[in-house]
Structure 1
Amino acid sequence: MSRKVSIQSLADQLGLSKYAVSRALSGKTGVSEATRARVLELARALGYRQSTPGSSAVPTGNEDQSEPPFALICMNQLNRGEPHYWQRVLSGMISACNERGWHHAIVSPSLGVADEHTPPERAIAPHLDWERCAGVIVMGAFPHAVLQRLAQTGRPIVLVDHQEPLLNCDTISHDNLEAGITVARYLMSMQCRRIGLITDDGRAASFAQRKIGIELALNHFHADSSRLTTFREWNIPYENGEWIDQLAATIKNMPHDERPDAWIGVNDDIALQWMNKLQEMGFSTPGDCLVIGIDNVHAAATSSPPLTTVNLCKEELGQRAIEALQRRIERPGTPKETVMLSTSLIPRESA
């Protein structure tokens, strides 16, 4: 039996006021079209109905048929406002859901100790009509305890840009190893002899995979052993902006012949911030040193100079996640799959 969904519960999940949700549902002015679309989409996914008998706050266009299924998308709260990567992956998921006539609901599960005695559906999203949940898409890294609780719902799970070998589920990600190999081999082809990597080891599995790819390229693809390329890594606290000035001070104190002649940002955001700092310090790019990133965010093409990078197909990643979920629903007994989307180099003026 479906759980009754209130306007307040919609407001709580969307982070909106009850007033804004009410006006969005009733079609009144006072809310943006983007907000109205978010409210209506969640209301459909949760099976919301007005309390007035015979009325429906969310027109479906076909009231006689049962509500369509929805994909439950688990998204880390920290990534919800990130426009360059996760929002683009999410847009691909939503598009793929729309193509199939599915709805979607987005939650940010954060389970505490007390949740182990609560049914998993209620602990994760108590207001959902779980009978219509087609499956779960997990975007990025979540603690193993959260993934275990998701598995206890009995719904198929697809992990996006994250791997959990102890969980029997499908995984969709970019070939981050290939991305690391690509940037390193490109810089080697440009005759770079001192390569510096700026990364944050503890932030994401994709960062670690890119670093491994770089090291593989440097160790196994070097054609001229008489001109070895040296490699040095700077591990930074990515979310803390102070790393830029701290690294700049380190570079200023290094002998000229030890400074990297090429820099790799483990993602474009790091590469762009560091390239701007190098220019403030009087280093020209690409005159004094090359800079390359990984991601191909929109800002990479408009920076000065435009950033050489490796393209990751973000919207396609989201599309393929929904495809994997549909396949798992249709073929539940097949072996789990790991799908890697290939990457491609985009040479620009920075390297």
Structure 2
Amino acid sequence: MAKITMQDLAERLGVSRFTVSRALSGGSGVSEETRQRVKKMAEQLGYIPVNSDRFRDHFKTRNILFMIRKDLLSDQHFWPMVIAGAESATKKRRLNLIISVIEPEEEIDGKLPPTFLQQNIDGALAVGEFHPTFLASLSKQKQPVVLVDVDGSEYPDTVVTHDMQGGVMATNHLIDLGHRDICFLGDTTLANSFYRRYQGFSLALSQAGLVKRQLLPLGYQGWNNSEYKERLVEAVNTITGFVCANDLFALNLIGFITDAGKKVPDDISVVGFDNINIAANSSPALTTIHVFKERMGERAIELLEWRIKSPSAPKETISIGVKFIQRSSTAYR
């Protein structure tokens, strides 16, 4: 997007460049009506005065790079919402969001997108859990980077969901319903966010004085694996409540429970996590933890803008709260 100049404003309004300059600077010789017309047009077109702090300190190229791992694009329920949030925030700032899909081999080799290396961006978002080699390459660049949905204790500024809080909420809900045999379903090695959710689950059980069952490390695959099926059959015959690492796992679990001849929530209660679109329309409708996915993208852009203005400020980690959503997949024990 090309920068808007005073001449552009003058031509749009049918006035001289001098009139635009006087109107924006508060100078005399311009009627109040014209002054307001100029200011309104400047705001609509995103004009940035050359002598303003915003022009000097904010964006130079007006390009923001959005890097996402290729495998995450297969998730049509979560990441598109994060991208939508980032796009909304960049549009408000008259910025260009350039999406770059990182191939697995590029990630492992630490190969950054050409746009990054050409230094044609003001900063970047790195979305998802990248290989340490890729993160190391990012840390050597002069442009600021904000990590999204990654525990960034060793890396730059980060925006995450308060997953541990959500894990506590989900587990306490089942405890409040009278459940005592509660299990966590999900492979915590797949995502750091899954592990944080499991930490919340474990904390809630500990605070309630309940025994922590061995977790079921199922992921997006393996539901037909004979070993896991055997463990699942055993679990659905002994467990009364499940906290799942995400909604997709929860919906798969409900299908398995139904096939096993049991009912949700009459026999077993199930809580998901993320509140993806299909959660409300499942049968039964899924009780879950709402993740503010669009806000993650918006907040990441806000944090990146702050970092561009404050390059020497301490690193920040932003944790976005979650919300408990009760539907029909849980019931009193």
Normalised TM-score (structure 2) = 0.76
Structure 2 letter corresponding to 1:308: T
Contact 1:84 1:298 in 2 (8 A): yes
* 1:273 and 2:273 are equivalent in the alignment: no
CA shift for structure 1 position 113: 10
Conservation of the 8 A alpha-carbon contact between 1:195 and 1:232: no
Is structure 2 residue 269 aligned with structure 1 residue 282?
A: no
Equivalent of 2:133 in 145, 152, 157 = 145
TM-superposition CA deviations, 1:309-345 (whole Å, max 9, x none): 0000000000000000000011111111111011111
TM-superposed deviation, 1:99: 1.0
**Partner residue of 2:231 out of 232, 247, 250:** 250
Bigger drift between 302-311 and 193-202 goes to 193-202
Q: Give the deviation of 1:166 after TM superposition.
A: 2.6
CA distance 1:335–1:195, change in 2 (3 Å): same
Q: Which runs of 4+ in 1 moved over 4 A?
A: 65-68, 110-116, 253-256
The answer to whether the aligner puts 1:180 opposite 2:167 as a matched pair is: yes
Partner residue in 1 for 2:152: 164
Which one-letter code corresponds to 1:100 in the other structure? R
* Residues 91-110 of structure 1 aligned to structure 2 (within 5 Å): 91-109=84-102, 110=104
Q: List aligned pairs for 1:1-351, cutoff 5 A.
A: 68-109=61-102, 110=104, 123-126=111-114, 130-167=118-155, 169-220=156-207, 222=208, 228=210, 230-243=212-225, 246-253=227-234, 256=237, 259-351=238-330
Instruction: Give aligned pairs, total.
Output: 275
* Residue 251 of structure 1: how far off its partner (Å): 4.1
> How well do the aligned residues superpose, as a CA RMSD in angstroms?
2.7
Q: Which runs of 5+ in 2 are unaligned?
A: 1-44, 51-58
Q: Is the 8 A contact 2:152 2:317 kept in 1?
A: no
> Residue type matched to 1:107 in 2?
S
State the TM-score, normalizing by the size of structure 1. 0.72
For residues 266 and 249 of structure 2, what CA distance do their matches in structure 1 show? 20
1:128–1:274 CA distance, 2 compared to 1 (3 A)? same
Q: Which amino acid aligns with 1:313?
A: F
Q: Are the counterparts in 2 of residues 111 and 146 from structure 1 also a CA contact under 8 Å?
A: no
Q: Cα deviation per residue 1:22-57 (whole Å; 9 max; x = unaligned)? A: xxxxxxxxxxxxxxxxxxxxxxxxxxxxxxxxxxxx
The secondary structure found in structure 1 opposite 2:76 is coil
For the residue of structure 1 that corresponds to 2:185, the secondary structure is strand
List per-residue Cα deviations over 1:213-244 (Å, max 9, x = no partner).
Answer: 11011112x1xx5xx4553311124334425x
Unaligned runs of 5+ in 1: 1-59, 117-122
Distance 2:265 2:272 in 1: 14
